[in-house]
Chains A and B, each alone.
Chain A
Amino acid sequence: MDFRFFCDILERMYTQGLLDSKSDSSVGIEPEERLRRFQARIDAEEKIEPTDWMPDAYRRTLIRMISQHAHSEVVGMLPEGNWITRAPSLRRKAALLAKVQDEGGHGLYLYAAAETLGISREEMIEQLLAGRAKYSSIFNYPTLSWADIGAIGWLVDGAAIMNQIPLCRCSYGPYARAMIRICKEESFHQRQGYEIMLTLSRGTAQQKAMAQDALDRWWWPSLMMFGPSDKESQHSDNSLRWKIKRFSNDELRQKFVDATVPQGHHLGLAFPDPDLAYDAQPGHWRFGAINWGEFRDVLTGNGPCNRQRLQQRRAADEQGAWVREAAIAYGEKHSRRSPP
């Protein structure tokens, strides 16, 4: 076996059991020196792995980010799952099913990445169900028509990709590796959404109006997905210094607008922003003021679907409890009969 390949496997083989080990090379070193060495590793673009020493704030930031991200994938299955039975053709239905299944898979990769930091999946899910954990606010908006499935794929997944591509280079190894996998799979999501929008835009007047209505409702919430502006954001500074994030919220938002506006014009649709204008000198699309009051409202639980989404997650958890219990009981009985 190739030696580097072997090292790669060893390095990737961090399991939860290892978290209990007492491996800490920096025992006995002054806290400032430990922090300095940690930052030096980050600055040298080294990946931080689960058993490496890390500041508590780094660990907490990552647990918060990765678990929110995982919850977003899982809650994100709800608005789209709403349309599986009503997709307009078998082709659309098969694609939407595959996409929703992907979102579930992404949630699982991310829960696994967060678990390497010493929190269990059960704990994270409990935080979500108790309303203590956040998920992306975008999923608190309803999917009122089939065109919304197109708009979600094109805009929401488009914004997610813009956020996620730099996360593939995140300083925390397990998160970066999960993101690489997720990004590979997301590009189908965005393309299937854009194809839906394109078909509607080239269809009857009524179909084009549906597409326009979906763009009108999803555009601003999509811009809010990048989070508060840099002036307001509480988390950006540390996250950038630790190379958890590579770009600020406003930088990513601008990239998204620049990439998306020409795509919308290609559809022949109008963006619901009278201030949207091309600024040729730096080559950016300038957009109007975001309604941050709405953002905070949805974030604090008063969006159109916050209560419904959590109720659905709680019901799924409660109704699935007997399956999990039966599976564990079966597994235990099985292992008693045939000791390893």
Chain B
Amino acid sequence: MTEKHMPLWEVFIRSRNGLAHKHAGSVHAADATMALQAARDVYTRRGEGLSLWVVPSDAITASDPAEKDMMFEPTASKIYRHPTFYKVPDDVGNM
């Protein structure tokens, strides 16, 4: 097939007021307007959202899953970042 490929877009949906946009999938479309329409038809046929984002897939910079151990290591070793690390006497109540 000699046809040019349709660009790929990642689709994000805000499902309810107050929630963040969440990745739902991807669509192929020639431009942003058509990507938004395709995303509406493909991912929100049952009232899944209040707001849609489409982002060109090649515009996303992602961390490398192969390096996730090094990338996220600090979150594992710094237990003093969690509230349960600190002792508060029971009679102080909830804190």
Contact = CB atoms under 8 A, between A and B. Distances in A.
Interface of A: 1, 3, 5, 9-18, 21, 23-25, 49, 51-52, 98, 101-102, 105, 108-109, 112, 115, 120-123, 125-126, 178, 181, 185, 321, 324-325, 327-328, 330-332, 334-335
Interface of B: 1, 3-8, 10, 20, 22-23, 25-31, 34, 41-42, 45-46, 57-58, 60, 62-67, 75
Contacts of A330: 30-31
15 contacts: A5-B20, A9-B23, A10-B63, A13-B10, A13-B62, A15-B60, A15-B62, A25-B66, A52-B65, A109-B25, A321-B3, A327-B31, A327-B34, A328-B4, A334-B31
A52 B57 CA distance: 19
A334 B30 CA distance: 10
A23 B64 contact: yes
B92 to A, nearest CB: 27
B8 A15 contact: yes
B45 A16 contact: no
Contacts of A334: 31
Contact of B65 (A16, A51, A102, A108): A51
A325 B42 contact: no
A23 B22 contact: no
B55 to A, nearest CB: 9
B30 A328 contact: yes
Nearest to A5: B20
A98 B62 CA distance: 36
Contacts of A13: 10, 23, 60, 62
Contacts of A24: 66
Given A15-B57, A321-B3, 20 more contacts: A9-B23, A14-B62, A15-B26, A16-B57, A17-B57, A21-B64, A24-B66, A25-B67, A98-B45, A105-B41, A105-B45, A108-B27, A108-B42, A109-B42, A115-B26, A120-B5, A327-B30, A328-B6, A332-B30, A335-B31
A274 B2 CA distance: 54
A12 B60 CA distance: 12
B41 to A, nearest CB: 7
Nearest to A52: B65
B57 A23 contact: no
Given A23-B65, A321-B3, A331-B34, A17 B58 contact: yes
Contacts of A12: 23
